[in-house]
Chains A and B, each alone.
Chain A
């Protein structure tokens, strides 16, 4: 049952991911990206990571996508009239070669890796309580540094939005 759900969500994630890349209009890409985020969030639930699934929907599908759509609509891009410049033959060749190489390395690496089979998760794994416990004990310093990072990002975005560059 869980495996069928996984395959359905995985198929949805892959199809929507392909559609994100191949849309001509950026707005449609962004909307397919939301579908992708929801599919991946469903897979997080299957992997007993309910907190991460909720964060995925709230932060990615909610906040970040609103920002994406807002900027895309703000810029009000014209439809590209002329065909996008076709890549040169050398570019295509190098791209195909590098992708094949990367696929070979990843597939070979995973086939050689000895990974333990998934056991039944103990109750409590992935829920908010165990994450919070870890976040405020072992990972307290990274957590605080993250808050500083977000503050810097806010200040940077405000400065960029205000600046009148010549």
Chain B
């Protein structure tokens, strides 16, 4: 009836190659081991991601304001 853990892991691997998908593996393991701890880590990962996005997008806006571009190829002032 329930979905096997290996299916969750397989989908997690596929999504990993597209982006980040560790949350899915956490939830899959939490389901398989019948422990809520995995879901706790997903909760914390989401919180950290929210903080990351806020600071990261603020950085992008500042870069755009100063350099008038957000293309990584144009941002080469750290090169020598």
What residues of chain A have their CB less than 8 Å away from a CB belonging to chain B? 2-3, 6, 10, 13-14, 17-18, 20-21, 40, 43-44, 46-49, 51-52, 55-56, 59-60, 63-64, 67-68, 71, 74-75, 77, 85, 99, 102-103, 106-107, 110, 115-122, 125-126, 130-131, 134-135, 139, 142, 146, 149-150, 152-154, 156-157, 160-161, 163, 165
* B39 & A49 in contact (Cβ 8 Å cutoff): yes
Contact pick for A49, options B10, B30, B46, B64, CB 8 Å: B30
- Give 20 pairs: A residue, B residue, CB < 8 Å, sorted on A: A10-B11, A40-B15, A40-B23, A40-B24, A43-B11, A47-B3, A49-B27, A49-B31, A64-B50, A64-B53, A117-B5, A118-B2, A119-B34, A120-B1, A121-B34, A131-B40, A134-B36, A134-B40, A135-B40, A157-B55
* B61 & A46 in contact (Cβ 8 Å cutoff): no
**Taking the complex as formed, is B75 at the interface, i.e. its CB lies under 8 A from any CB of chain A?**
no
Looking at chain A's contact residues, the main secondary structure is helix
* A77 & B70 in contact (Cβ 8 Å cutoff): yes
7 smallest CB-CB distances across A and B, nearest first, come from A153-B51, A17-B18, A160-B58, A157-B58, A47-B31, A118-B2, A49-B27
Complex alpha-carbon distance, A46 and B66, angstroms: 46
* B4 & A118 in contact (Cβ 8 Å cutoff): yes
* A6 & B7 in contact (Cβ 8 Å cutoff): yes
B41-80, CB under 8 A of A: which get 1 and which 0?
Answer: 0111011111111110111111010100010010000000
Complex alpha-carbon distance, A157 and B14, angstroms: 33
Task: Identify which of B24, B39, B60 gathers the most chain A CB atoms within 10 Å of its CB.
Answer: B39
Q: 17 other contacts beyond A2-B3, A68-B53, with CB at 8 A cut-off?
A: A14-B11, A40-B24, A49-B30, A52-B42, A75-B61, A99-B17, A102-B17, A106-B16, A115-B6, A116-B5, A117-B32, A118-B31, A125-B36, A130-B36, A153-B52, A156-B55, A161-B61
Contact pick for A55, options B16, B46, B59, B70, CB 8 Å: B46
* B15 & A17 in contact (Cβ 8 Å cutoff): yes
Complex alpha-carbon distance, A57 and B25, angstroms: 18
Contact pick for A106, options B11, B13, B43, CB 8 Å: B13
